[in-house]
């Protein structure tokens, strides 16, 4: 049976390992950490359970189809529920809006809250849907670096309606043109952060992201977000995939322009196929130091990072839900601080995720587990101790004003994760959450491909390569890699 090696047990690496196992490969996954999941990790602290990483779950079909590959019923192993509410939004002037997952209810209630004509909202959402339908097959499901992609009917159809994709306009311009109400435009601007970018620079095609939430829904997996990676890890073990934890890969072995395996502190391991789920920057800098590097790609601006406070809160808040956003009063200034001055704005947008709303066991009775995040620049040598202290003060003051509370006295436990910690724990260059930022008109075309154009049998998956960051795109990157790797004779028998 031919051998395949996967570097990194993040969500993309787990999915790639499963898909290659299905194609008949004997798969070994090397992971520097002592656990599987990458950013999808968890922490228990003072009777509270916190998901450390991604907090939004969409397109669960990309997880469940990995079970179906092996003839299994996904519901026997992995369960989740659909949310009726996408997010609760809060502004300083007292405006509050509960975004319903029902498209019709969203239009009606957004029209009432923001004084925007229902027809304008409906037109905007319809345009987002069209963008997704025109481009999903091209931008998300196939390699952009294979000529065959551009010869498809779907591609020709998308190119014929290039004008409708808003690739040239920044997202904020698209949203502010669609709505007269600044708060509603800001609500849709925030989707730029789903790929770690600025709404004032990322292309307007990103407005198709809210379509994914409204059309396909948002979900909560039983056991929390960490359960996604753990269930896939269990599936991988059941299918005979080997894991070598706490064994970092030192080098990808290359011979005659062909990847032939990897080396670690414990020895060399040979394979027919090598897949890196590691961030593309350290993949080249650390694992391929003697090979030609894609200099322009590696020099691209990094996406935003995050500063996260994990707080045990000695009170329950019925006005809050699983996902909550407290907006900055000057969104543009916030993104200038993040991307231009590499600092934190004094009035940050605050995101709070509370899994105890769905899993009461995640916090003691009468308490809640708050995952409190603000967008942050990557690690460029800033004084993070000083930044964390100031950020905590600004966050608490903001939440005190909007919720009319004394938050400081409600915090019972605390853990903090900053960009330095994210970089250390996940090998994400500068702590960037999504690899390169999409603050470029043709950002989708500038991401590193899912295969090496110089080294045969070397492939790449995960959030730092095509099609991008976030759980669904990482899972799609693994699917693209599997489509590029040759079948084996054993594949039909797995």
Q: Where do the structural domains in the chain lie, given as residue ranges?
A: 3-38+225-294+448-493, 106-214, 301-426
**Is the confidence at residue 150, as pLDDT, over 50?**
no
**Residue-wise pLDDT tens digits, 66-115:** 999 999 999 999 999 999 999 999 999 999 999 999 999 999 999 999 99
Instruction: Tell which wins on pLDDT, 364 or 207.
Output: 364
**Is the confidence at residue 49, as pLDDT, over 50?**
yes
Give the integer Cα–Cα distance in Å for 274 and 208.
Answer: 33
**Is the confidence at residue 140, as pLDDT, over 80?**
no
φ, ψ of residue 278 in degrees (nearest 5): -75, 150
**Is the confidence at residue 153, as pLDDT, over 80?**
no
Q: How confident is the model at residue 213 (pLDDT cuts 50, 70, 90)?
A: confident
List the one residue out of 301, 282, 306 whose CA is nearest residue 384.
306
Beta-sheet pairing, 26-31 with 3-7: parallel
Give the integer Cα–Cα distance in Å for 274 and 286.
Answer: 15
Cβ-proximal residues to 215 (8 Å cutoff; 6+ apart), any chain: 103, 129, 132
Exposed, middle or buried: residue 63 (CB in 10 Å: 0-12, 13-18, 19+)?
Answer: buried
Beta-bridged to residue 272, according to DSSP, are none
Model pLDDT, residue 35:
97
**Is the confidence at residue 472, as pLDDT, over 50?**
yes
Model pLDDT, residue 214:
87
Report whether the peptide linkage leading into residue 486 is cis, meaning its omega lies within 30 degrees of zero. no
Q: How confident is the model at residue 14 (pLDDT cuts 50, 70, 90)?
A: very high
CB atoms within 10 A of CB 492: 10
**Residue-wise pLDDT tens digits, 274-331:** 999 999 999 999 999 999 999 999 999 999 999 999 999 999 999 999 999 999 999 9
What sign for the dihedral angle of Cα 274, 279, 280, 286? negative
CATH architecture of 3-38+225-294+448-493: 3-Layer(bba) Sandwich (3.50)
CB atoms within 10 A of CB 389: 10
Strand, helix or coil for residue 222: coil
Model pLDDT, residue 493:
44
**Is the confidence at residue 27, as pLDDT, over 90?**
yes
**Is the confidence at residue 63, as pLDDT, over 60?**
yes
Q: How confident is the model at residue 162 (pLDDT cuts 50, 70, 90)?
A: low
């Amino acid at each position: 049976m031919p051998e395949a090696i996967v570097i990194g047990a993040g969500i993309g690496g787990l999915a790639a390992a499963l898909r290659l196992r299905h194609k008949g490969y004997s798969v070994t996954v090397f992971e520097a950490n002592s656990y599987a999941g990458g950013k999808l990790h968890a922490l228990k602290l003072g009777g509270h359970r916190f998901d450390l990483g991604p907090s939004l779950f969409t397109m669960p079909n990309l997880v469940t189809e990995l079970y179906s590959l092996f003839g299994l019923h996904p519901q026997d192993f992995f369960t989740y529920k659909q949310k009726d509410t996408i997010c609760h939004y809060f502004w300083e002037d007292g405006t509050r809006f509960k975004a319903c997952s029902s498209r019709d209810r969203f239009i009606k209630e957004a029209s009432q809250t923001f004084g925007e004509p229902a027809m304008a909202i409906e037109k905007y959402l319809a345009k987002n849907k069209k963008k997704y339908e025109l481009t999903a097959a091209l931008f998300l499901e196939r390699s952009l670096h294979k000529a065959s992609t551009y010869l498809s009917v779907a591609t020709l159809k998308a190119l014929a309606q290039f004008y409708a994709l808003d690739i040239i306009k920044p997202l904020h311009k698209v949203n502010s043109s669609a709505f007269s109400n600044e708060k509603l435009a800001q609500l849709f601007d925030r989707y730029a952060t789903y790929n770690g970018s600025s709404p004032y620079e990322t292309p307007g095609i990103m407005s198709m992201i809210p379509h994914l939430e409204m059309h396909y829904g948002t979900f909560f997996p039983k056991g929390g977000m960490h359960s996604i990676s753990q269930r896939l890890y269990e599936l991988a073990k059941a299918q005979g995939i080997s894991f070598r934890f706490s064994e970092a890969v030192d080098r990808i072995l290359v011979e005659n322009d062909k990847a032939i395996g990897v080396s670690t502190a414990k020895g060399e391991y040979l394979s027919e196929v090598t897949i890196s789920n590691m961030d593309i920057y350290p993949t080249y800098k650390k694992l391929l130091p003697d090979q030609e590097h894609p200099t322009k790609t590696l020099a691209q601006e990094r996406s935003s990072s995050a500063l996260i406070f994990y707080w045990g809160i000695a009170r329950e808040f019925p006005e809050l839900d699983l996902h909550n956003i407290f907006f900055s009063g000057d969104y543009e200034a916030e993104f200038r601080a993040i991307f231009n001055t590499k600092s934190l704005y004094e009035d940050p947008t605050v995101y709070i995720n509370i899994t105890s709303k769905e899993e009461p066991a995640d916090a003691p009775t009468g308490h809640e587990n708050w995952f409190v995040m603000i967008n942050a620049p990557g690690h460029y040598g800033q004084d993070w101790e000083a930044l964390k202290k100031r950020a905590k003060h600004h966050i608490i003051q903001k939440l005190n004003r909007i919720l009319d509370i004394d938050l400081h006295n409600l915090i019972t436990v605390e853990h903090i994760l900053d960009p330095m910690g994210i970089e250390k724990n996940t090998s994400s260059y500068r702590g960037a959450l999504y690899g390169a930022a999409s603050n470029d008109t043709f950002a989708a075309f500038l991401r590193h491909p899912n295969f090496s154009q110089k080294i045969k049998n070397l492939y790449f998956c995960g959030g730092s390569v095509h099609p991008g960051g976030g759980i669904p795109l990482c899972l799609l990157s693994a699917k693209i890699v599997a489509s590029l790797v040759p079948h084996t004779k054993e594949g039909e028998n797995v």
